[in-house]
C-alpha cells in the first residue's frame, strides 16, 4: 500500500513522507534509529517499509507477519459485508423502520453523497432491494441512523462514468473496524461505538474489480449518530425519477 496512517501527524503518509517526518532508517552514527511504528488502520497489524532505500522502486508499506490475523486489504477487500436474514426479527419494528426510511430517503441519499462524491442512485436502489429481499429492516438493534453505513459497507463504489469521471477517479469501499467482521457483529455490539473506514483503490485497468495491487490508502470516516438532523442538498431529478420508478406503489 502507498499510504499508512500516522496518528501523531494525524494523516496518511507515503514512505517518503514518513522519512521526512521521522528520519531515515539509520542515524548520523549509522545506528538504527527509533521511529514510531505505524499500524494498518483496518487490521491494526504493525507495518514496515518496503524498498525504502531502493532508488529504482516506489517504496510502499507492507504488513509485518501476523499469522492468524485477517486483513481485508491483503485479501483484496473482496470479502464484502453481506446482508443476511435477520438473527432476531421484529416485524412490527421492521415495517416502521422501512416506512421511516422511505419518508427520509432523500436525507439518507444526501448523507451517502456527503461521504462518497457522485454515488450512483442504482447502487442505493440495489441496496434497498437487497434489504427488502433479506428482511434487513426487521433486524433487532438496527436503527435508522445505521442504514447509510450498512449501505456503504455492503456496496461497491466504482468511479462515476461520463463527464464527471475525473471528479472522483478512485474506487471506494467502506468497512467497519476490525471488531466487525460481519454485519452480525453490529447487531450484537449495538451499544458500542463503531469506527468506519474508507478504502481507496486505483481503478483497475485490465480487470473488473480492484484488488490488493490497486489499494492506495485507508482513511477514517467520522461516524455521526445524528446525521439525520442535518440538511442535505436535494437529490437531482434523475435520482428522484429512478427512485419513483423503482418503488412505485
Ligand atoms: Zn491490515
**Beta-bridge partner residues of 217:** 200
Name the CA dihedral angle for 186, 187, 193, 195, rounded to a multiple of 10 degrees: 10
Q: 7 C-alpha vs ligand 1 centroid, how far in Å?
A: 16
C-alpha cell recorded at residue 162:
461520463
Residues near ligand 1 ion, CB 5 Å cutoff = 40, 42-43, 71, 73
Tell me the average pLDDT of the chain. Answer: 91
pLDDT for 242 equals: 98
Of 46, 63, 80, the residue that ends a domain is 63
User: 123 and 56 in one domain?
Assistant: no
Residue 213, C-beta contacts closer than 8 angstroms, at least 6 positions apart = none
Quick one: cell of 112?
451517502
Per-residue pLDDT tens over the stretch 21-52: 999 999 999 999 999 999 999 889 999 999 99
Based on the fold, state whether residues 96 and 185 are members of the same structural domain: yes
What residues make up the domain containing 196? 91-246
State how many domains the chain has: 2
| Ligand 1 mean position, distance from CA 218 (Å) | 10
How far is the C-alpha of 42 from the C-alpha of 16, rounded, in Å?
22
Query: What pLDDT, on a 0 to 100 scale, did the predictor assign at position 190?
Result: 63
CA distance 40 to 67: 15
Q: Which helix (H) or strand (E) holds 200?
A: strand 196-201
- Local structure of 167: helix, strand or coil: helix
pLDDT digits (tens, 9 = 90+) for 167-179: 999 999 999 877 7
40 and 97 belong to one structural domain: no
Cell of 71: 486483513
Q: For residue 64, report the distance from its CA to the centre of ligand 1, in Å.
A: 9
pLDDT of 249 reads 66
Confidence of residue 183 (pLDDT cuts 50, 70, 90): confident
Amino acid at each position: 500500500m502507498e499510504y499508512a496512517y500516522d496518528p501523531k501527524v494525524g494523516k496518511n503518509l507515503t514512505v517518503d513522507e514518513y522519512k521526512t517526518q521521522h528520519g531515515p532508517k539509520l542515524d548520523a552514527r549509522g545506528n538504527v534509529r527509533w521511529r514510531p511504528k505505524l499500524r494498518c488502520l483496518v487490521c491494526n497489524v504493525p507495518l514496515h517499509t518496503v524498498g525504502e532505500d531502493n532508488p529504482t522502486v516506489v517504496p510502499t508499506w507492507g504488513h509485518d507477519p501476523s499469522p492468524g490475523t485477517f486483513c481485508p486489504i491483503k485479501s483484496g477487500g473482496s470479502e464484502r459485508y453481506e446482508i443476511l436474514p435477520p438473527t432476531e426479527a421484529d416485524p412490527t419494528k421492521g415495517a416502521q423502520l422501512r416506512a421511516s426510511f422511505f419518508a427520509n430517503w432523500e436525507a439518507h441519499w444526501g448523507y451517502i453523497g456527503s461521504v462518497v462524491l457522485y454515488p450512483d442512485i442504482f447502487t442505493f436502489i440495489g441496496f434497498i432491494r437487497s434489504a427488502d429481499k433479506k428482511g434487513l429492516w426487521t433486524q433487532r438493534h438496527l436503527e435508522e441512523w445505521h442504514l447509510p453505513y450498512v449501505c456503504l459497507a455492503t456496496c461497491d463504489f466504482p468511479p462515476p462514468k461520463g463527464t464527471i469521471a475525473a471528479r472522483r477517479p478512485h474506487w471506494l469501499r467502506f468497512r467497519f473496524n476490525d471488531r466487525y467482521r460481519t454485519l452480525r457483529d453490529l447487531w450484537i455490539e449495538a451499544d458500542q461505538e463503531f469506527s468506519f473506514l474508507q478504502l481507496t483503490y486505483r481503478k483497475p485497468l485490465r480487470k473488473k474489480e480492484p484488488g490488493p495491487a490497486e489499494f492506495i490508502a485507508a482513511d477514517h470516516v467520522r461516524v455521526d449518530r445524528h446525521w439525520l438532523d442535518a440538511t442535505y442538498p436535494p437529490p437531482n431529478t434523475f435520482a428522484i425519477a429512478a427512485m419513483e420508478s423503482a418503488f412505485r406503489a
